[in-house]
Amino acid sequence: MIFPQFREICEQHCPNHSIGNADTASNLVEFPVKSNCSHMRASTFFLSTLKEAPAEAEVVSHQLMLRAGLIKRLAGGIYTWMPMGLRVVRKVEAIVREEMNRAGAVELLMPSVQPAELWQESGRWQKYGPELLRIKDRHDRAFCIGPTHEEVITDVARRDLRSYRQLPMHFYQIQTKFRDEIRPRFGVMRGREFVMKDGYSFHASYEDLQHEYMKMHETYSRIFTRLGLRFRAVSADTGSIGGTGSHEFHVLAESGEDAIAYCPSSDYAANIELAEAIPTSDRPGPGKETITERATPGKTKCQEVAEYLGLPLQLLVKSIAIVRESNDAGTSPEFALVLLRGDHDLNEIKASRVMGPFRFASDEEINTNMSCKPGYIGPARAGAIPIFADRSVMAMRDFACGANKVGFHFTGVNWGTGDLPDISADRIADFRNVKSGDPSPDGRGILEIVRGIEVGHIFQLRTQYSQMMKATFLDKNGVAQPFEMGCYGIGITRIVGAAIEQGHDDRGIVFPAAIAPFTIALVPVGYHKSDAVRSAADSMYRELEQCGFDVILDDRDERPGVMFADMELLGIPHRITIGERGLKQQIVEYQSRPDREPRHLPVQDAVGELRSILC
């Protein structure tokens, strides 16, 4: 039986469908009702644009995504991908999937709810903090919502990979993860729920793992290149694993949460947290000045003190009061000072590597231990307080620091004096972030700092999980060996935000063509008034579709300004405007997204011209 109304609906909405094959009931399944039509008319798709950005959005990508109706917030850090936004996500996924498959990885899909037992086995049930969302089922059994899938995939491997003959094997999935972030922000870039591609490879040897790692480095570079993003692969070596252990892929953007140190004259690039600050000079000769107490009323920041005393910032020492946490060995919390040069910043990761876990001391603790307020504390005449110092501080002489007396600083302070005895070598280390102008750790130039958004991370896990979870295979000699493992992640949904952060102007989003929700916007002016415009628009639409372009026909009964503004806000890279005025001269207008000046194309060549522009 045929439903005639379907045909009517379809004819109404789909100017280019063929109705011939719908004449028999057997073809009903294939009947091209609206949901089966790939083509898109704005009047029947879903657009929801806003002139003003909701107040919750802080960064430009978040504001634009909300304004363009790509996402809607459901709860903190949790968003619905609206139809237009989903199209972008799907395009990112498609490229990632294609390249992963090309590289020989095999897709699977793991559950997002995972039993606690697996996490207890790997030890992460305890180690993972409150970021891990733990839940219980009706039988009071513990589960978590997976923030990552090492445990599950290792379980898969231990069950199904038994022989070296099955190796190497690389599984990946594109799946929704949940991490209960302390402070979700920036919309989709730091959400709690997000879509990620995560892959895990299993190898019989470390050499083989390294091959796969290199291949993934290349694959990721291909992916981000295809996505049309300006990116940089940076070393994120943790040191504990060594070698080429870990790389992050960052999309370069001003608003990025991470700072990247790179050397323009070599290929060195590293997350600032890991880039070593090379000491520039040795221990200085003896100081020329003697310690002097100077009044610095109300001046608590290095910058203020330096200006007030008329000293360069590099001659100040900042003292950061910290408390070393008690550890498993049973040591009690210890109050200490960490010294940095006035123009340097503390690197918490480097610091905790030297002195273990620590936190910043409260004002109270500072008062208890030093009888002083923050802003005026310092290492000189500080009694028995343990002192740690960045290497660059040890190269200073005749410097200034807090006098441990509210409203006063010392000048002319020197190491190795009665006022400030030398400290032992194990308390001198690299404690600071590198800054622009520092020498590159590879000795081949000067570092510069750029900001980036981490969108990919590749990591050599080695046998960490396979050993913990007893995941082994039999080698050639029939001996059980733990798998060498690698893991490789790409933040699918974060990429959408990052791409917008990198591509936007005062009119809205400027999507890279590869991930724009549509490639071409067809904007007819007077579609509902002029037969000439409508038939020209419909036939061009049909032709463009047949060429395989992702085209949206804006057939809404709106004023041209509204349609132009919406298509620009959405970041559609190419636009064809068809109007009665142009048709009289047999022309249409073509304009690409960032440009402001249209080009005239003859109506009959327009599609051909577009093909040569786009292909």
Q: Which residues of the chain form contacts with RNA (CB under 7 A)?
A: 49-56, 58, 75-77, 182-185, 300-303, 305, 316, 318-321, 340, 342, 345-346, 348, 360, 374-378, 401-402, 507-508, 525-526, 529, 559-562, 564-566, 568-569, 577-582, 589, 591, 598
DSSP element (H, E) containing 399: strand 399-402
Residue with Cβ nearer RNA (217 or 381): 381
Radius of gyration of the chain (CA): 31
> Cα dihedral angle (28, 32, 33, 38), rounded to 10 degrees?
150
CA separation, residue 233 to residues 100, 124, 311, 344, 455 (Å): 18, 28, 39, 25, 10
Quote the least distance from Cβ 505 to RNA, whole Å.
Answer: 11
Q: Is 609 helix (H, G, I), strand (E, B) or coil?
A: helix
Spatial CA neighbour of 335 closest among 355, 349, 318: 355
> Cα dihedral angle (48, 53, 57, 61), rounded to 10 degrees?
70
Quote the least distance from Cβ 237 to RNA, whole Å.
Answer: 21
Residue with Cβ nearer RNA (486 or 526): 526
Q: Is the dihedral of CA 498, 502, 508, 512 positive or negative?
A: negative
Quote the least distance from Cβ 176 to RNA, whole Å.
Answer: 18
Quote the least distance from Cβ 244 to RNA, whole Å.
Answer: 29
Quote the least distance from Cβ 300 to RNA, whole Å.
Answer: 5
User: Counting every residue, how long is the chain?
Assistant: 615
3-state helix, strand, coil in the chain (%, to 5): 30, 30, 40
Quote the least distance from Cβ 90 to RNA, whole Å.
Answer: 24
Quote the least distance from Cβ 254 to RNA, whole Å.
Answer: 13
Tell me the C-alpha distance between 301 and 378, whole Å.
Answer: 13
Quote the least distance from Cβ 422 to RNA, whole Å.
Answer: 20
What are the b/e assignments for 7-34, b being 16+ CB within 10 Å? beebeebbbebeeeebeeeeeeeebbbe
Quote the least distance from Cβ 172 to RNA, whole Å.
Answer: 30
Tell me the C-alpha distance between 600 and 606, whole Å.
Answer: 9
Token pair of 365 as six digits = 């603790």
Residue with Cβ nearer RNA (358 or 549): 358
Asked whether the beta carbons of 614 and 518 are under 8 A apart, the reply is no
Residue with Cβ nearer RNA (14 or 533): 533
Token pair of 97 as six digits = 């999937």
Quote the least distance from Cβ 268 to RNA, whole Å.
Answer: 24
Greatest CA span in the chain, whole angstroms?
A: 102
Residue with Cβ nearer RNA (431 or 488): 431
Q: Any bridge partners for residue 41, and if so which?
A: 553
Residue with Cβ nearer RNA (168 or 571): 571
Token pair of 86 as six digits = 């989903």
CA separation, residue 54 to residues 1, 237, 562, 573 (Å): 49, 39, 20, 25
Asked whether the beta carbons of 41 and 13 are under 8 A apart, the reply is yes
Residue with Cβ nearer RNA (205 or 300): 300
Residue with Cβ nearer RNA (236 or 317): 317
Quote the least distance from Cβ 378 to RNA, whole Å.
Answer: 5
Residue with Cβ nearer RNA (162 or 581): 581
Tell me the C-alpha distance between 289 and 27, whole Å.
Answer: 96
Token pair of 277 as six digits = 């600050």
Residue with Cβ nearer RNA (102 or 301): 301
Residue with Cβ nearer RNA (485 or 525): 525
Residue with Cβ nearer RNA (448 or 580): 580
Quote the least distance from Cβ 70 to RNA, whole Å.
Answer: 14
Residue with Cβ nearer RNA (508 or 571): 508
Quote the least distance from Cβ 506 to RNA, whole Å.
Answer: 10
DSSP element (H, E) containing 334: strand 334-341
| Secondary structure of 569-590 in HEC code, one letter for each residue | HHCCCEEEEEEHHHHHCCEEEE
